[in-house]
Copies of this chain bind each other. A is one copy, B any other.
Amino acid sequence: MFKELNPLLHSELRLGIMSLLLSVETADFVYIREQTGATAGNLSVQLDKLSKAGYIEIEKTYKGKAPCTLCKITPEGVNAFGQYVDALKSYIHFKDE
């Protein structure tokens, strides 16, 4: 009846991160924090989870002398997101758009 919702994606912040990364393909820590409104601590933890799951890749670089954490969605991430959306459709009937 209802498809299982991947618990890693069924989280407001992680869903926002993934949604963002889907649209821009690469974003740094500060940008993600600003766009999602998350606290740095929370963001750090959630990025770590997504990274460990293989849904995103994290590269630590520098922007000038300041550290800069770059994030990028992986093909597995894109796939998992697609499946999540598909599962959502068993709960919700989307029309329009």
Identify the A interface with B (CB < 8 A). 1-2, 4-5, 7, 10, 12, 15-16, 19, 35-37, 85, 88-89, 91-95, 97
Copies of this polypeptide in the complex: 2
Q: Which residue of B lies closest to A87 (CB)?
A: B12
- Taking CB atoms, residues of chain B closer than 8 Å to A15 are 5, 91
Q: Smallest CB–CB gap between A87 and chain B, Å? A: 9
Q: Which residue of B lies closest to A90 (CB)?
A: B19
Q: Smallest CB–CB gap between A93 and chain B, Å? A: 7
- Taking CB atoms, residues of chain B closer than 8 Å to A94 are 85, 89, 94, 97
Ordered by A's residue number, 26 sampled pairs between the chains whose C-beta atoms are within 8 Å are A1-B16, A1-B35, A1-B36, A1-B37, A2-B12, A2-B16, A2-B19, A2-B35, A2-B37, A4-B12, A5-B12, A5-B15, A7-B12, A10-B10, A15-B91, A19-B91, A19-B92, A85-B92, A85-B94, A88-B88, A88-B92, A89-B94, A89-B97, A93-B97, A94-B97, A95-B97
